[in-house]
């Protein structure tokens, strides 16, 4: 299953923000071919 990231999560992830919860950080750390991450096109606009 693909996890679709909210715009804020993407920005905080790239910024290595402490606003991410422990669960969010773990989910982002385990992304791989079996756990892909997605971002909505509108988030990049």
User: Which helix (H) or strand (E) covers residue 8, if one does?
Assistant: helix 7-14
Number of domains the chain is built from: 1
Rg (CA), the chain: 10
pLDDT in tens, 6-29: 999 999 999 999 999 999 999 899
pTM (predicted TM-score): 0.72
In terms of residue numbers, what domain contains 7?
3-44
**Can you tell me whether residue 14 is helix, strand or coil?**
helix
Let me know: does 3 contact 40? Beta carbons within 8 Å.
no
Tens digits of per-residue pLDDT, 28-38?
A: 999 888 889 99
């Amino acid at each position: 299953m693909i996890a679709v990231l909210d715009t804020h999560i993407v920005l905080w992830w790239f910024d290595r923000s402490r606003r991410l919860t422990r669960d969010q950080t773990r989910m982002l750390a385990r992304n791989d071919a079996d756990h892909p991450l997605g971002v909505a096109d509108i988030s990049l606009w």
